[in-house]
Amino acid sequence: MIEVSGKQIASNKITIKDCFGSDMWYKIPDYQRPYVWGEDQITLLLDDVSYAALNTPETQYFLGSLVLHCQKEEKDGASYMENSVLDGQQRLTTLYLMQAVMRDITENKTLRDTCVKAIYQEGNKFDGIPERLRIEFEIRNDVEVFINEYIKPLDGTLKKEKLTKLSEESKNVSIKNMSTAILTLHKWFANEDNLDLDTLFSYFRQYVILIYVASAELEDAFRLFTVLNDRGIKLRNSDILKAQNLKEVTDVKKQKNYAEFWEELEGELEEDFDLFLSYIRTILVKEKARHNLLKEFEDSIYKPKVFNQSKKVYESTSPLLKKGEETFELLKSYKAHYDMLFSGNNYNLNKNWAFDNLISVLEDTALSDIWVPPLLMYLNVFGEEKVHNFLIKLDNKFSGDWIARETPTTRIEAMGNILKEVERCSQLDISQEEKINQLLNSDSFDFNFKEFIFQIESATIYGRRFARYLLRKIDYLLDKPLYTEQRNSYANMSVEHVLPQNPKDDSQWLIDFTLEEREEWTHRLGNLVLISRRKNTGQGRLDFADKKTKYFTNSIESFPNSLKVMQKNQWTMLNLKEHHILLLELLKGHYKND
């Protein structure tokens, strides 16, 4: 048992034997992230411990650290010290699952009994000993149910058919990954090339150690959690942000609901979760991020400061958002907008697919997501009214700046200005329709039209970062006016020349185009199309008639611009120029007049 009280902070090393000893009890709090370890991490842990057991059998193996908040608890009349795990739960949970698997595959009674005691304490009413799991999972109730069915009982981990189904179908991230972990552990132990169980278990219990840092004060424990994060231990900023906000929710039921919401959100968005939080940060601050996500929330949102010019000092000002319920409710609101935005199911907006198709163009090819926060904020402020009109203006500003060669900083600041304009218009004392119209007519959407036109009309397009975007945008515009076809993302999408870069010496291309014409026009907009496959240099050099049948057939799918080119019987300088002018007029009309 770890003894710690008051402001005292305890730190020491602990073997696995003592870590799962009879007086050690753990709780995975509801503010913790789900269990996410995968096959690679688990296999690496087993391989490393096995290697140490074989090569340095009397030397301790350091596995990692635990940050604990220790407090006295009572259950069924018995008092005990419970350790809430702030950091190290992934590792601790894996060790817990490992001992359950070891228990179920061993034929050694002592080893099995040792594992049983590590997993839970059997109740004894005569001695006043309550039945208790070694680790209690507050993350979700169904995780506790999973533990009671597959971890606690003997042979629970041998239900492989059920575990396989859970690993493939469970919507709960922790259960899905725990099921996979158990199957991974069984697979490793079944491999005869790996270290035998008895040898591994002996070393594992006696020589594998963890370092714990424990405090009785929750504030101190969180501070330790943050310090370890700053020193490079792989804790996510969002984990700390969740913990800080849950501490501010005093209602226990609400706290549990918010923790569950956060976990579901994290599981659904996975690697995009921190990105989603960064969108919220941008919407609130409306400026370029200067620090990591956690510091941005703390210093720019919860405790913002403004510079007092006369005193030459920074002074505290009103928070942009309060910790606790206000933060959670804002995330809920924006998650609904986020889901709508990327659902691909917004036919109802215009009774066509125009909105979703334009979102698809941006998602596939934009290379930057700075356009997302303004769109989310618009939905939050004005709802779906004229949201497609706003998206068109926003996309034209975003792409107009990009193609006109504005710097990344300038482009980020432009999106910030649109956020400020949304906020300004929302506060005007006029009708919603008037607010939206004033916003849509704002000069915050203006861009360098002259430079934009020069870039698409006269400059080289092929090889530029915006080439795929521009060709997808052209396809989007050629779909007008009905947008009856939904255009989703394309798995493979390449920019191809119609007139090839390097025609064969005996090809028709050298007859139809002079050297000067090829040098001037090969990489220009009118000579480029999209194909839904990887480029093939050999086939790309074929004459036009052969190129259409042997290369482009079944490679242009439903790209409208590509189909338009393929309808030509020949591709001469005249055809190229006519097509180039057609595309220019299409783009000019859209960007000039929206």
Q: What pLDDT digit, counting tens, does each position of 424-473 carry?
A: 999 999 999 999 999 999 999 999 999 999 999 999 999 999 999 999 99
Q: What is the pLDDT of residues 506-547, one digit of tens each?
A: 899 999 999 999 999 999 999 999 887 776 666 677 888 888
In angstroms, the CA 337 to CA 109 distance is 56
Q: What is the DSSP letter of 348?
A: G
Helix axes 39-55, 89-105, angle to 10 degrees: 70
In angstroms, the CA 267 to CA 260 distance is 10
Identify which of 119, 148, 131, 1 has the alpha carbon closest to the alpha carbon of residue 68: 1
Is residue 232 predicted with pLDDT exceeding 80? no
Q: Tell me what percent of the residues of the chain surpass a pLDDT of 90.
A: 59
Q: What is the pLDDT of residues 366-382, one digit of tens each?
A: 889 999 999 999 999 99
252-255: long-range contacts at Cβ-Cβ below 8 A with a sequence spacing of 24 or more? 254/325, 255/30
Identify which of 573, 571, 552 has the alpha carbon closest to the alpha carbon of residue 563: 552
Tell me what pLDDT residue 313 has.
76
Reported as type and span, the H/E element at residue 261 is: helix 252-269
The gap between the terminal CA atoms of the chain, to the nearest Å, is 70
Tell me what pLDDT residue 233 has.
38
* Averaged pLDDT, 239-243: 80
What is the per-residue burial (b if ≥16 Cβ within 10 Å, else e) of 146-168? bbeebbbeeebbebeeebeebbe
Strand partners of residue 173: none
In angstroms, the CA 549 to CA 542 distance is 10
Tell me what pLDDT residue 411 has.
94
Q: What is the pLDDT of residues 268-319, one digit of tens each?
A: 887 788 899 999 999 999 988 877 788 889 889 999 888 778 877 778 899 9
Identify which of 335, 166, 340 has the alpha carbon closest to the alpha carbon of residue 264: 335
In angstroms, the CA 214 to CA 212 distance is 6
Q: Among the listed ranges 52-56, 136-140, 190-194, which one has the minimum average pLDDT value?
A: 136-140
Tell me what pLDDT residue 104 has.
96
> Is the pLDDT higher at 78 or at 511?
511
Q: Tell me what percent of the residues of the chain surpass a pLDDT of 70.
A: 91
In angstroms, the CA 231 to CA 228 distance is 5
Identify which of 277, 473, 469, 286 has the alpha carbon closest to the alpha carbon of residue 374: 286
Reported as type and span, the H/E element at residue 60 is: none
Tell me what pLDDT residue 250 has.
87
Q: What is the DSSP letter of 499?
A: S
Tell me what pLDDT residue 231 has.
40
- Calculate ∠ Cα 486-491-497, nearest 5°: 95
What's the gap between Cα 13 and its chain centre?
35
**Position 288: which residue type?**
K
Tell me what pLDDT residue 119 has.
95
In angstroms, the CA 573 to CA 514 distance is 9
Helix axes 372-382, 325-341, angle to 10 degrees: 110
Is residue 230 predicted with pLDDT exceeding 70? no
- Residue that is written with structure tokens 């590792």 in the block: 91
What's the gap between Cα 502 and its chain centre?
42
- Calculate ∠ Cα 120-124-125, nearest 5°: 135
C-beta of residue 496 within 8 angstroms of C-beta of residue 531:
yes
Which of the four pLDDT bands, split at 50, 70 and 90, describes residue 234?
Answer: very low
Please list the alpha-helical segments (H only) found in 56-195. Answer: 89-105, 109-119, 141-146, 160-169, 173-190
* Most confident of the following: 28-42, 55-69, 392-406: 392-406
Tell me what pLDDT residue 498 has.
93
Q: What is the pLDDT of residues 150-182, one digit of tens each?
A: 999 999 999 999 999 999 999 888 999 999 999
- Residue that is written with structure tokens 């994290």 in the block: 266
Q: What is the CA radius of gyration of the chain?
A: 31
In angstroms, the CA 425 to CA 418 distance is 10
User: Residue 315: is it exposed, middle or buried by C-beta count within 10 angstroms (0-12/13-18/19+)?
Assistant: exposed
Mean pLDDT of the chain: 88
Q: What is the DSSP letter of 7?
A: T
Q: What is the pLDDT of residues 327-358, one digit of tens each?
A: 999 999 999 999 999 999 999 999 999 999 99
Tell me what pLDDT residue 176 has.
94
Identify which of 150, 172, 134, 179 has the alpha carbon closest to the alpha carbon of residue 42: 179
User: Residue 345: is it exposed, middle or buried by C-beta count within 10 angstroms (0-12/13-18/19+)?
Assistant: exposed
504-510: long-range contacts at Cβ-Cβ below 8 A with a sequence spacing of 24 or more? 504/541, 507/541, 507/542, 507/543, 508/543, 508/544, 509/543, 509/544
Identify which of 332, 334, 241 has the alpha carbon closest to the alpha carbon of residue 283: 334
Q: Among the listed ranges 72-81, 113-122, 321-330, 397-406, which one has the minimum average pLDDT value?
A: 72-81
Cis peptide preceding 153, ω within 30 of 0: no
Identify which of 161, 268, 221, 157 has the alpha carbon closest to the alpha carbon of residue 2: 221
